[in-house]
Chains A and B, each alone.
Chain A
Amino acid sequence: MNTVSVNENPFGRKLVLACLLPILLVNIVAFMVPVLNLAAMSFRAASSTGSLEEGITVSTWLGLFGDGYYWSMVGRTVWFGILITIITLLLSYPLALFVSRREGSLKAFLVVVCISPLLISAVVRTYGWMVILGDQGVLPSLIRASGFTPPRLINNETGVIIGMVEILMPYMILSLLSGFGKLDATLEQAAGTLGARPFTVFRRVVLPLSLPGILLGCLLCFVLAVSSFITPKMLAGGRVSLLATEIYDQAIVTLNWPLAACLSVLILVVFGAALVLYGRLSKIVE
């Protein structure tokens, strides 16, 4: 049978372009225009009272680059993103593997259970953590009842990490489950038949085959961890300053929109770097 590819058929190519046009327009209007607007705002300056000054300037960018405080904030944000992603992966991986090994309606039920937290707003879930981890909360009360002095679990870095990991776990589990599609049980059986012990089977067969899912989950969680501001705002008690929370403060509290725009562009650069790394690692894995 003779087949004509879309590239060879001018009508087909036009049809593809026509189909892509709506989403292209939506992207231009809803994503590109605001991003460009943001970039333009970063080249303005705010006065001490917060009012926007006329004209284009690089002074906000120079101020940002020259201030070590913001560099340490970028470093802290990336470190937090990596730490939260690793903990989320370690907690989600066994869970996702367990779910992927189940069959039929039980598997469907477990998948729903794993992703059901997404049905509740992150704000509500974070308030839940405030109730659980707060000084008078469930967990410190239990620790006290056991005769120990509870460590501070909220209004510090610990609280942020606990809250963020719980919020990101459904995303990681979904990504891992999609990656586990490549796992073939017969390969594990074959490895076992050839004398490999369970840990060797995991290390040589299961883990390498689930790497695409791991990479996807890590990218997703890292980006969400770096851009999240609600949970750090609510659980950090003002002690953990991250890029996203600083953007909120600059835009909403001190009204320094140009600085908020510069920091937003900086976050986009971090995301870009994460995407490039993901692309390279994906190629290596494949």
Chain B
Amino acid sequence: MAKHSRRQVLVLGAAGAAGLAMPWVSRAHAQERRITVAAYSGIFEDIYKKTVIEPFMKANPSIRVNYVGFPTSAQNLGTLRAQKAAPQLDVCILDMVVAKAGANENLYKAVTPDVLPVMKQLVPTALIEGMPGPAVTFDNVAMIYSPKKFASAPTSWKELWNKAHAGRITLDAPPNAVGMGFTFVANKLAGGTDYRDYSKGIKLLGEMAPLVQSWEPKPDCYASVTSGNADLSVGYNARIQTFSRQTPDRIAASIPDEGSVFQINTINLVNNAPQQDAALEFMAYALSAQTQATFTEALPYAPTNRDAPLSPEALARTAVTPERMSKMINIDWLEVAKFRDAITEQWRRNVLTRS
């Protein structure tokens, strides 16, 4: 065997090592960034993954998005609370009232149009004072009804007080957010003019109580109607519309003439998020006009980007048509947060006890 000089051995060795290391070197060059987005589970998760997460990853091959779904915003916040010392989440989409609680604990980092220029395209109501992140979707409380029992969609909330439906009504009572929102609807029906004085609404709800089958339908208010256990209920418009598309003969949505209340989801950057830059890129994508339109076409949450190119059909399914907007009850949810315990207490004492 021919003898090799020490230099030749070193050169060959270095070349071999470099060859073996090449796959890792090239991979390191195009290092993948991973972010975790926490939002709702269920139908929201299914559609958000298809219309936002997957297209985002396709458009940004170097960023992988891990979606974590929670049944409620409170569970979303609770998870982040537990991770405060070392957050694993990067972006959180959750109800603005819950997000405010997280903001007070410095769990989210405030974003401004300077770091997130797409915010300049958002409608003014999407930029809420005191909130760390902008609104990403608008939804509203709507009536759920069974098309089998109604020849045409109920046009008034008063249908829930119709004794013909005794035992066929389900409603999520406060502290559930739907029940909280419905309190203000009932207050308006009863002649209340200021949502901060909701006593008239509570009295009217007490009159409805004997007709209610369940104050906590399981698995949820939508399934209670779809399964045929109830004929009327109250839920969020986007979800009702989506379930209605799946089973049109079993469930449908109505936004009654008396109007409704908005529910706002905000998108928030987690303080000390592991991948802040990638997280901001995702937030910009999620708030962009085209993404917002695509999501709304699939799930009728109203967009917050004013330039979102919506089809007339998609717009009609949301509560942001000019006609409906004029009937919406104007509520400051951050103000409501201050007395929501009192509302729950009033329900316990004056509504639930009458059923």
Contact = CB atoms under 8 A, between A and B. Distances in A.
Q: Do A and B come from one complex?
A: yes
Interface of A: 47-52, 69, 130, 134-136, 155, 233-234, 236-239, 241, 249, 251-255, 257
B104 interface: yes
Contacts of B75: 252
Contacts of A48: 337-341
A238 B216 CA distance: 5
Interface in B76-93: 77-78, 81
A233 to B, nearest CB: 7
Contacts, number: 79
B104 A51 contact: yes
A51 B98 CA distance: 9
Given A69-B348, A241-B348, A155 B175 contact: no
A255 B98 contact: yes
B229 A134 contact: yes
B74 A253 contact: yes
Contacts of B190: none
Given A51-B100, A252-B74, 16 more contacts: A48-B338, A49-B104, A49-B334, A49-B337, A50-B98, A51-B103, A135-B167, A136-B228, A233-B216, A237-B213, A238-B352, A252-B75, A254-B74, A254-B175, A255-B78, A257-B78
B85 to A, nearest CB: 14
Would you list the 3 A-B pairs with minimal beta carbon distance, nearest first? A238-B215, A238-B216, A237-B214
13 contacts: A49-B104, A50-B337, A51-B100, A52-B81, A69-B348, A130-B218, A135-B167, A135-B229, A136-B228, A237-B215, A238-B352, A239-B352, A251-B78
Interface string B36-78: 0000000000000000000000000000000000001011011
Given A233-B218, A236-B216, A254 B352 contact: no
Interface in B249-298: none
B210 to A, nearest CB: 12
A155 B214 contact: yes
A85 B338 CA distance: 41
A51 B102 contact: yes
Interface string B300-338: 000000000000000000000000000000000010011
B112 interface: no
A255 B81 CA distance: 11
B97 interface: yes
A130 B223 CA distance: 13
B156 to A, nearest CB: 25
A257 B217 CA distance: 24
Interface string B333-355: 01001111100110010001001
A249 B175 contact: yes
Contacts of A135: 167, 213, 229
A39 to B, nearest CB: 17
A223 B341 CA distance: 29
Given A48-B338, A130-B218, A254 B344 contact: yes
A2 B345 CA distance: 71
